[in-house]
């Protein structure tokens, strides 16, 4: 974090400084992933990398799809329960009519 507070951070120096902490290969991979995110965040007005924004949009979209599916399933269950109840009442009425004495 301290290395990012510098006005013009140098990616090579950051990688060199991180090598002792992450070892050479991991520091190189980390900087390979971090640097494009930093550039993207710098270009964005909010300071958030566009890749993160796209991931969040996709997550929200998936959540909405799941909620719509759940709502649809709930409605189908309610409709089925209503039909079952109506069928029960209908069959009960038919039985009561057939049991009544005829004059």
3-state secondary structure of 93: helix
Same domain assignment for residues 54 and 44: no
DSSP state letter for 102? P
Give tens-digit pLDDT for 36-53: 998 898 898 888 999 999
Same domain assignment for residues 58 and 34: no
Domain count, the chain: 2
- 32, 49 in Cβ contact below 8 A? no
The pLDDT value recorded for residue 29 is 93
Same domain assignment for residues 62 and 97: yes
Same domain assignment for residues 24 and 63: no
Tell me if the pTM is above 0.75: no
| Domain region containing 37 | 1-48
Closest CA to 34 of 59, 55, 8, 14: 14
Two tokens at 61?
């979209």
Query: What's the rounded Cα separation, in Å, for the pair 91 and 95?
Result: 6
Query: What's the rounded Cα separation, in Å, for the pair 19 and 25?
Result: 8
Same domain assignment for residues 84 and 68: yes
């Amino acid at each position: 974090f301290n290395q990012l507070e510098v006005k013009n951070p140098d990616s090579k120096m950051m990688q060199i400084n991180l090598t002792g902490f992450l070892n050479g290969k991991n520091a190189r991979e980390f900087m390979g992933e971090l640097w494009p995110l930093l550039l993207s965040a710098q270009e964005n007005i909010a300071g958030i990398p566009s890749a993160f924004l796209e991931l969040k949009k996709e997550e929200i979209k998936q959540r909405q799809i799941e909620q719509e599916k759940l709502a649809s399933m709930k409605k189908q269950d309610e409709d089925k329960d209503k039909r079952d109840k109506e069928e029960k009442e209908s069959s009960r009425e038919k039985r009561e009519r057939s049991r009544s004495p005829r004059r």
